[in-house]
Chain A
Amino acid sequence: TQLLEQSPQFLSIQEGENLTVYCNSSSVFSSLQWYRQEPGEGPVLLVTVVTGGEVKKLKRLTFQFGDARKDSSLHITAAQPGDTGLYLCAGVAGNQFYFGTGTSLTVIP
């Protein structure tokens, strides 16, 4: 059972544009992580959010955890080609990890 649905599945944008990726579930999570994965490499942890409504910023990336801790979003401002990759969310419930379906982002120079 896939608990976490990400949208969009694929996204291709021009350099300098803004974008938002969504991670949605009907389940409640104690924490949620976002990872970025480049082709041929393992996912790299970007951020962990644990409190409902929490907002964290990492340079041009803004992460938000939903008030009910069922969903999250990742917003990228002024995207750059180096942001290209697969973005994965992962929720933790009962010490079990549930990974999202992934969003493949391509930023065109």
Chain B
Amino acid sequence: SQTIHQWPATLVQPVGSPLSLECTVEGTSNPNLYWYRQAAGRGLQLLFYSVGIGQISSEVPQNLSASRPQDRQFILSSKKLLLSDSGFYLCAWDPGQGFEQYFGPGTRLTVT
């Protein structure tokens, strides 16, 4: 069976510090991978998606970036965090058929 991991689970970072969130998927190959951000109790904002190694599409211009160094690894980064980067970050995957997405447990980021 497939599983998706995210870490860290929670993170408190000062403004201006760098960020690296990691997501890995097990039990599948060549998945589509997604990064979302969610405000409290609200819907999901798509940040980045990837259909393959090194292929990244950005949905929202901002100070975040994403990379996919391996088939089942997706990384969300920032060089300098802003207060507005605080939120709940979710990684998701789908098998590439545009059918169903499966989510990781999320990372709660607080920028102070």
* Interface, chain A (partner B; CB < 8 A): 2, 6, 30-31, 33, 35, 40-45, 48, 86, 88, 90, 92, 94-97, 99-102, 104
Contact = CB atoms under 8 A, between A and B. Distances in A.
A67 to B, nearest CB: 21
Contacts of B34: 97
Contacts, number: 52
Contacts of B94: 97
A33 B100 contact: yes
Interface of B: 34, 41-44, 46, 88, 90, 92, 94, 97-106, 108
Nearest to A35: B103
A88 B105 CA distance: 16
A35 B42 CA distance: 13
A97 B42 contact: no
B43 A88 contact: yes
A40 B41 contact: no
B104 A100 contact: no
A24 to B, nearest CB: 14
B106 to A, nearest CB: 5
Nearest to B40: A39
Contacts of A99: 43-44, 46
Given A88-B43, A102-B42, A102-B43, A41 B105 contact: yes
A2 B42 CA distance: 13
B110 to A, nearest CB: 13
B101 A97 contact: yes
Contacts of B101: 33, 45, 90, 97
Given A30-B98, A92-B98, A95-B98, A42 B43 contact: no
